[in-house]
Structure 1
Amino acid sequence: MADEPGSNQGPDVPNLPDDGSGQQPLDTASTDPGQPSQSSGLSIGDQVFDRSAAPMAQQDLDPANQSLADALKLSFRLLQLAMVVLIVFYIMTGWNTVEEQDNGLRLTFGRIQNTTPLDRGLHLSWPYPVGEFIKVRIAPRTVELKEAHTDDQGQPVIREAFWLGLSREESSKPFEQVNRRLTQGLVPGEDGSVITSDSNLAHTRWQVTYIINDPMRLQATVLDSEGGIDPLVRRCVERGVVRACAGTGLDDVIQSRDLLNARVKAFAQELLDKLDCGIVIQSANCTEARPPRQILESYEGVSQAWADAHKAIETATDEATRIMNRVAGRYHTQLAGLIRVYEAVYDGVQPDESDLDRLATAYDEDRAALAARLDTPERVLAEIDAILRSPDVAGTVAEIISNAESERTRIVTRAQESWRLFDAYRDQYREDPALVAYTLWAETLQRIYAGNIEIFSIPPGMKDLDLWLNRDPQLQENWRRERARRQINE
């Protein structure tokens, strides 16, 4: 029977009658009961197919099947190898390196597995999505209170929490040259400022340095342990700045930054401790603080006046110290204090406590004991005299004391010499009064005519006398030399 076009049935197979069941019945060769079947073929209808012909067809198909089986087996082996390689690479992704400035956390299904942070080195964890390895930087980090925003024109701008919102052109200028705010004023939402305790406004810039001392607490508290740290620290510091400036005057905000920095750090750390996030602030520094632009010139004028006044006071204090050192040496503080105490005690009033405190510090003595020791003018004078007679005293006071001692010695010496001379004249007078009187008269005349006295002798009996007076040049030269010698000695 010929094949229909387009049919692909292989060898010719006779059409079997349809029994209505959609299947063609297979009819095997009949055999007699009790006798073995002699047929080795397959009977389909009236036709019988011999099985002896099958081995030849099977022999034709074995090479193709074998090639297909070998190809499938090789493909399966390659697939197994690829799976092994992928599994190895997958496991290798669990190896992580921790650097010196980092700590590592090993997570499995989101739960931290290690009890302490992993230090520097190579560590293995379950790969994602079973596990995760998180590196937390423990080195100090620095942030500023500024964030990137977009203006109305869609341009990126930087907004600082407590500073003027300046354009790029204005940011390159000094603060004193930003004139736009002189007439426009501050714009809410664009310009930042902080209120001080004296109801003034101030513009401040801040730089904060912090570290993570407990990475495990950070991972358990902060959802985004990397991108969420800086914003968290900024918000806490901003609240600390508002709170600290609210209790600080404008002058202290601008001039006394050390105290302000300490208060901001304490307030911000208090908030972080409440969050228990393992973050520690190392420093909070106000890098710049200015009054509003509208009052800048007036404020700087007052500040300059105060600076000039303080400079004048310091100059006067230094000059006073220099003069006192020149006058009394290193004991000038004690002498000045004792003099004031003497005046108070002499007037019967209580000495100033500041003088007693300085004297107690200088003498290393209790103030009450010192006040009891200097309760009378005589005791105070004795203390002053003890200092003046000390060999360590220097300056003009020492020179005056030395000159006074020398003058005292000279006076005593002259008095003793006068007494000895008087005693000698007294003995001579008892023996010859006229001789003593003549001698004293002659000495007196000699003293009178000595020095700058010139004597002119006129012969007796002259009636008319014309005098042309002129000073003796030799005497004038002697007097000039004597005056110069005295000035040098003085």
Structure 2
Amino acid sequence: MDETSPNIEADAPPALDPAQQSLSEALRVSFGILKIVMVVLLMAYAFSGTFSVGSNEVALRLRFGNYVGSPGQRVLERGTYLAAPFPIEQIVKVDTRPSTLLLEDEFWFETTKNDSGLTRSQLQFQKAGPLHPLRDGSLITGDSNIVHAKWALTWRITDPVAYLTNIGSKEVAQELVTLTSQQGIVHSIARLTADEILRGIVNREQMLGLIQQRLDDMRTGITIDQVTLDKVSAPLRVMRSFDAVTSAESDRARRIVAAQQERARILGETAGEASEPLLDLVNAYSQATELEDPAHAQEIETLIDTALLELKINDSVIGGDVARVMNKAQTYRTQITEQIATEAQSFSQLLPQYQLNPRLVMTKLWEDAREQILTGDVETFYTVPGQLELQFNRDPEIQKERQKEQLRSQKKAQEDAESNR
């Protein structure tokens, strides 16, 4: 071999032993796995900003502390969204469900756990002393009286941007709504009397407007939906006096209702469904008479007469006692008319005979009258000439018949009255 030729075996890298080859292979695999893990972590980090918004909440995205989106598109409603991962972007969710605020102690007299089972009379006995301003809550009314009340308010977040900017937490919002509501209630009650408040006559719209105006002035993003007066009470020291007034007013209202019902019953029995318009005509006639307006009175009297004859007024049928009396009068009128017509006809027939022989006609008329008088349910007594001494012994059979006839007449009258009702 030529000495100047290159030494191929000397220039080649030394061969690795099996241990080194195993280590090299392990490192190559480890770096491959590490690359995969890093890619997975990068992808997980990139998609870690995915979030969802529920039905009772909204969300806002903050990028480096600033709201993302135009003013009208900052609030994210229900759905799934993708945002840049923290700390680039931050997601803030706001609960929009209605919340209830109970003002049970702020304007109520002091109570303890031992008072929960006591009746109002027992509370009056135990707490009959003067109010303590540091322990007893109260409200001053517009007529300088004191009342106690419990209130309930419903509020919710309607402007999440303003809420997060100026409030930031539910606890602060609850405290702010409490203070604002107390102020609005105090101002509203100061415009009312104690009697109105104890009756529950409270202008809730005005009260709600006062509270809402103060919240809007502070740009809280909170809306008051409802203000409810749960319970109201006079001071226990004067509770009996207020109860006496309330009882008297309740009795007055009850008597008024009873009087109205009695009035409706009497008018219904008097003229039926047409009682009100008929009563209006009667009152108008009385008023025209008092004002000495004979023309108007005559006009109204004509309307009344027409209504009574037709038993109808303004498409309403006149019934009751008025209809019964008018029907009876019409029947009597018909009977009298027929009777007079019959008598006129009889006398017209007797006139020619009377002109021929007056004595004979008079005798016949006397006989007819005597027969008519003495025939039927009549007791007849005959006397003899001379000294007259009368001793009457009335016929019992005739008295019985008269009583029976009277009972039958009364029964028929009751049946007619019931049928006309």
Say yes or no: TM over 0.5.
yes
Task: Give yes or no for the alignment of 1:138 onto 2:61.
Answer: no
Q: Quick one: structure 1 residues 228 and 92, their matched pair in 2 at CA, closer, same or farther if it must change by over 3 Å?
A: farther
Specify which of 60, 64, 67 is matched with residue 105 of structure 1. Answer: 60
How many Å separate the matches in 2 of 1:466 and 1:300?
A: 80
Larger-Rg structure? 1
> Within the alignment, does 1:239 sit opposite 2:173 as a pair?
no
2:197 corresponds, among 248, 253, 263, to 253
> Are 1:97 and 1:122, in contact at CA under 8 Å, matched by a contact in 2?
yes
1:243-301 deviation per Cα after TM superposition (whole angstroms, max 9, x unaligned): 110101112112134x4322221211222222333322221101111111111121111
> Who is 1:413 aligned against?
338
Gaps of 5+ in 1: 1-58, 147-159, 351-373
Q: Provide the rounded CA distance (Å) in 2 between the counterparts of 1:260 and 1:335.
A: 41
Asked if 1:454 is matched to 2:380, the reply is yes
Distance 1:278 1:176, change over 3 A: farther
| Larger RCO, structures 1/2 (Cα 8 Å, 6+ apart) | 2
Paired letter, 2:89 = G
Q: Does 1:471 align with 2:394?
A: yes
Name 1:308's counterpart in structure 2: 251
| Equivalent residues in 2 for 1:125-164, closer than 5 Å | 125-145=83-103, 160-164=105-109
- In the TM superposition, what whole-angstrom CA distance separates every residue of 1:347-401 from its partner, at most 9, and x where no partner exists? 2269xxxxxxxxxxxxxxxxxxxxxxx9611011122223322341111111111
Instruction: Summarize the alignment of residues 9-24 of structure 1 with structure 2, pairs less than 5 Å apart.
Output: none
Aligned partner of 1:215 among 140, 160, 169: 160
Q: Summarize the Cα distance change of 1:474–1:63 in structure 2 as closer, same or farther, 3 Å threshold.
A: closer
CA distance in 2, matches of 1:416, 1:435: 24
- Is 1:431 aligned with 2:349? no
Structure 1 position 453, deviation (Å): 2.4
Partner secondary structure for residue 171 of structure 2: coil
Shift, 1:94, TM fit = 2.5
Letter in 2 for 1:454: T
User: Is residue 452–residue 479 contact of structure 1 (8 Å, CA) maintained in 2?
Assistant: no
Partners of 1:329 and 1:480 in 2: how far apart? 34
Q: Note the aligned Cα RMSD (angstroms).
A: 3.3
Of 79-88 and 396-405, more deviation after overlay is shown by 79-88
Deviations 1:172-227 (A, max 9, x none): 54555334763443222322111111111111111111232222232233233x32
| Aligned counterparts of 2:166 and 2:122: Cα–Cα separation in 1 | 45
Q: What's 1:382 paired with?
A: 302
**Counterpart Cα distance in 2 of 1:344 and 1:161:** 58
Superposed counterparts of 1:30-69, under 5 Å: none
Within the candidate set 480, 483, 490, 2:403 is matched to: 480
TM-fit CA distance, 1:308: 0.7
Alignment match, 1:440: 365
Give the drift of 1:310. Answer: 0.9
1:205, 1:288 within 8 Å by CA — same for their partners in 2? yes
* Residue aligned with 1:227, SS: helix
2:115 matches 1:170: yes
1:364-375 equivalence runs, <5 A: none
Check conservation: 1:253, 1:260, Cα contact below 8 A. no
Percent sequence identity over matched residues? 29
Structure 2 residue ranges without an equivalent (≥5)? 1-13, 414-421
- How far did residue 111 of structure 1 move? 1.4
Tell me the residue number matched to 1:271: 214
* Separation (CA, whole Å) in 2 of partners of 1:260 and 1:465: 95
- Aligned counterparts of 2:131 and 2:43: Cα–Cα separation in 1: 63
* Matched residue type, 1:289: V
Paired letter, 2:165: A
2 CA distance for matches of 1:481 and 1:232?
90
Cα shift at 1:457: 7.0
Partner secondary structure for residue 153 of structure 2: strand
**Contact conserved, 1:197 with 1:248, CA < 8 A, in 2?**
yes
Cα 1:469–1:187 change in 2 (3 A) is closer
Q: 1:405 to 1:464 in 2, by over 3 A?
A: closer
| Gap change, CA 1:95 and 1:168, over 3 Å in 2 | farther
Aligned to 1:355: none
Measured in 1, the distance between the counterparts of 2:302 and 2:318 equals: 16
Within 1, Cα distance between the matches of 2:185 and 2:166? 24
Any conservation in 2 of the 1:429–1:436 contact (CA below 8 Å)? yes
Q: 1-side partners of 2:130 and 2:298: how far apart?
A: 70
Q: Which residue of 2 aligns with 1:332?
A: 275
Partner SS state of residue 166, structure 1: coil
Which amino acid counterpart does residue 483 of structure 1 have in structure 2? Q
Q: Which amino acid aligns with 2:218?
A: L
* Structure 1 residues 437 and 466: alpha-carbon distance in aligned structure 2, compared to 1, 3 A threshold: closer
Matched residues in 2 for 1:71 and 1:169: separation? 78
Deviations along 1:19-45, one digit per CA (max 9) or x if unpaired, are xxxxxxxxxxxxxxxxxxxxxxxxxxx
Relative to total residues, which structure has the larger helix share, 1 or 2?
Answer: 2
